[in-house]
Structure 1
Amino acid sequence: MKNEKYGKIFYKLLILKIIEAKEEGIVFMKALYAQSGGVTSVINASAYGVIDEARKNGLEILVGINGVTGILKENFLDASDLDIEFLRYTPAGAFGSCRKKMKNDSDIEKLFEIFRKNEIRYFFYNGGNDSMDTAWRVQMEAQKRGYELKVVGVPKTIDNDLPHTDHCPGYGSAAKYIAISMMEAALDLRSMYVDSTQVFVMEIMGRHAGWLAAAAGLGWINGIGADVILLPEKPFNKDEFLSTVNKIISEKGYCAIAVAEGLKYPDGFFVSDMGFTDSFGNRQLGGVGFTIAGMVRSELGLKTHVAIPDYLQRSGRHIASKTDIEEAEMCGRMAVRYALEDNYGVMVTMERVSNNPYQIKYSSVPLNLVADQTKMLPKDFYEGYTVTDKFFEYALPLISGEFYPPFENGLPSYKLINLGKK
């Protein structure tokens, strides 16, 4: 308690020092924020949190356009006086994202030349597993070079697979989108199955973990959801699967299926492996929904339909979770606070205090414990081809509440900023 008290005093004195220096026209220290990896419907809420908190504490704040890709081109936006209110309502990466991995020495050398040139002393990187690896590499390089830099990772991923945090900003809203979409599609299927489509298949993002696909079952809390959920955590058994579908069809005439893109056979091979890798070394996946539908059609002779939400599930801001938006913003704010308290080389985390009432507390974890690691869906969150009560207890608070964007002409009014081209 004593250390905590002194830590808060130090934090307040530091803020006063920064503000005083700024008022005197001295550039005390500059902060840099950037977005990385696949975007979400609430990543910009985190950007809002970082920028607003940095400005409140007197920091000069720059934004790297298109993550480290743009930073290496010195493609910056000065956010010190930017009107940022739109960030709380706009989906996807307002400042552009990237999938670049800092692999070679020349990139690292150039990055630190740019940091020195622009007097960057705080770096806030907003992303998922691979992005936290980049953040960790940058922090280690700074220490190796004797360059004063405080790096803090701001978590983000609809996959919800970052370890050491209860959940990730972006997941709650994507889960809400998937749950609602499956409910509505299942109702459509129920209306038409008598002499039309009998099996509906939704292909859902999730390379290694089934957190998002599991959300397709949340609609059962209101009476309708996915009948079968195929998860990466459960090796795919074709005969068992087809038998289950056939049984459901015989009982009610139709079957709604959710399948994660990362579905694997017992030998570990992806059902939807496209045969090549991306810049991070990840196998490219696609078409698992059509593969599953093809099995059902050829083996059971049933008419099928496939839907792939793809980008829609991660950028559906119109029905985003209020809880998710508020937590995303707070993760951004906490990143700045931690850096100012000399708690750096870490990623912001959330720890669940209770389910009812839902309550969390913010903390942090060293970046090296997160980098390139994956948190799988716990075994007690699913059983057979459905999710358990434990998953409902976990996920329902995360999709709670609505925070609609402003509408104009019957459509969301999303603001764009000029990112430029460099």
Structure 2
Amino acid sequence: AIPAPPAPPLFDSRTGTAPQTGTDPATARTSVMPEGTAPQDVSATQVITPQDSTLTIGLMDARPLDDQGSEPAKRKRSKKPLIITLVVVLVVALVAGAGGSWWYFLGPGSYWTLPQPTDISCKENTECSIVGAKWSDYQSTLNVANIPFTFSEAYSDTVAKGNIISADPQNVGTHISKRHNGRITVTVSLGVKQATIPSDIADPTSADGKDPIKALENAGFTNIKRDDSSAEYSMTLPEGALQSISETPGSTLDHNAEITVVLSKGLMPVTMPDIVGKTKDEAMTALDNAKLKTTVSEEYSDSVKSGSVISASPDSGTELHWGDSVELTVSKGPETADVPNLVGKSKSDAIKTLESLGFEVKTGGLNILGLVQQQSATGKTRLRDTNGNKTVITLTVA
């Protein structure tokens, strides 16, 4: 048999060296693994002892082991689960981020929901408004929900004081954006507006008394009724002045409370009566009935008997009003003069005397420069006849 050649030096994977040349194979350090035992700190090379009749060396993969004893190929394969894990984590993060963004910008996190007032009942599937709710309570509800709001106040004829007149938005469940300075705007009722009747409205000389309806409107009243059926003419109240009012001047009421006023018709229109030729008493009665003021004068009249109306101004038929003035002229009868006894007076003196009294003088007899022997009238004598001509007195001169 051919002797087995000496075994080549073995490579120690731990030290990275091989025994020096010349080393006796019999004494070389070898690792012979018991049957059925896997190598631990040696390389993958299996050593067959020289006692074997045939020397067989099985060369396997002699690549060095890593620090953990794993092969590089195995290390490559172990990265795949890590990559998958990272991808899964990234996807989950993206999904979570997208969900969070949606929740914050578009979802429930982006808005407030207008809550239902505690004093308002809402029907299912029906719009429910917060109008009419008590503001003080609902304000607390908004504060608890951290919903911003602004509110103003206004008078209302229909909504009780302190309750909500209007809101924007106003329906329960409406979304209010948190991202665009969203808020609810509320108008709260001050109740029915009040107004006060001017205290001087009944004084016709005051500014309010000269136009009572305008004064009430300026005070804020909106339900003013004018009762013309009860209006009367008045000597003391000018037309349009307050004759009566249903409420006490100076009182404060709801602006829409009904107020009834009666305005004076002022001075009644009348027609100047026909009183010329009537007696003074008859004329005065007619003028008093027409409530006209009368001024009376007297004068002599040769045609109108004493005590009767000679003339009146204005003329009969003229349109007047109560309190207008009328002038009357009443006859004193014909004018007279006392004619003295002129018998024995010279003709010239007698004529001069009679003419100075307003008489016309005629003389008779032959003695032009003689004395008056007779006269046609003595004592109280009319100066004129009914036609207005001077009375003639005849003197007889001797």
Normalised by the shorter chain, which TM-score bucket?
under 0.3
What TM-score comes out, normalization by structure 2 length? 0.19
Please identify which structure carries the higher helix content: 1
Q: Which has the higher relative contact order, 1 or 2, with Cα contacts under 8 A spaced 6 or more apart?
A: 1
Q: For the pair shown, which has the larger CA radius of gyration, 1 or 2? A: 2
What TM-score comes out, normalization by structure 1 length? 0.18
